[in-house]
Amino acid sequence: MKSRLDKALQSQGFGTRKACRLLVNRGAVRVNGVLADDPDADVECAGLVLSIEGVEWRWHETIYLALNKPEGVECSHTPTHHPSVFSLLPEPFVTRGVQCVGRLDADTTGLLLLSDDGAFIQQLTSPKRKVAKTYLVTCAEPITDAQLSSLAAGVTLSDAPEAVAGEGERVSERVLRLTIHEGKYHQVKRMLAAAGNHVVSLHRQRVGGLELPVSLAPGQWVVLDEGGLAAVRGG
């Protein structure tokens, strides 16, 4: 796939067509290591490596990110009480329209997926897909066998016509690993409350078959490769 250089730059979030042409004209753009001087030049997008102001960017037709969400950020472009999670991303990603694939509460940490692929977002957030999401749940009280049984059998939530169940495994006295297949508002917190406990902290470890990389510190992100995408879709 070929594209004019200014269009390729615009598609990657580097501003309007005019702004992208200005970047090239003032010598701020390199294409595969070579200084670019013609915004109308055709470039091959597959494998394209752009350098903008000395910062390297690989071309992606659509982009998929895994971010280790820290506590105290909101999954919104218009946050109300905390900074936006999008403040953790480079501006070109935000400009090109990257969105959260589902949301995590401000006080919930862990694996958050983001993408500018609308079909991908719809697939992973559709209730029909029942994509598995695994959380590490720290509870206020010791987790009892009766609570584990209640979660496995299903608890009643006000906005669910049927009981909602989860696969729970006690990690320690007050820590539970819980896998759910829906994405209802405050679901894990409400499920634990319905089972007779209270969530102190919540950390998402896995979406589908993709586990949060241990090397990814809170606030850091990584572009998912084909293996990572396959894991998300296959889990």
Q: How many CB atoms lie within 10 A of CB 204?
A: 20
Rounded distance between C-alpha atoms, residue 47 and residue 39, angstroms = 19
Q: Is 116 noted as a catalytic residue in this protein?
A: no
Q: Could you tell me how many residues make up the chain?
A: 235
List b or e across 126-155, with b for residues whose CB sees 16 or more CB atoms inside 10 angstroms: eeeeebebbbbbbbeeebeeebbebbeeeb
Are the CB atoms for 51 and 36 separated by under 8 Å? no
4: part of which helix (H) or strand (E)? strand 2-4
Check 37, 40, 42, 105 and give the catalytic one.
Answer: 105
**Nearest to residue 88, comparing CAs of 72, 102, 101?**
72
Helices and strands, number each (H, E), in the chain: 7, 15
Tokens read off for 25 = 């004209």
Q: Which two tokens stand for residue 20?
A: 């992208």
Q: Where in the sequence numbering do the catalytic residues fall?
A: 105
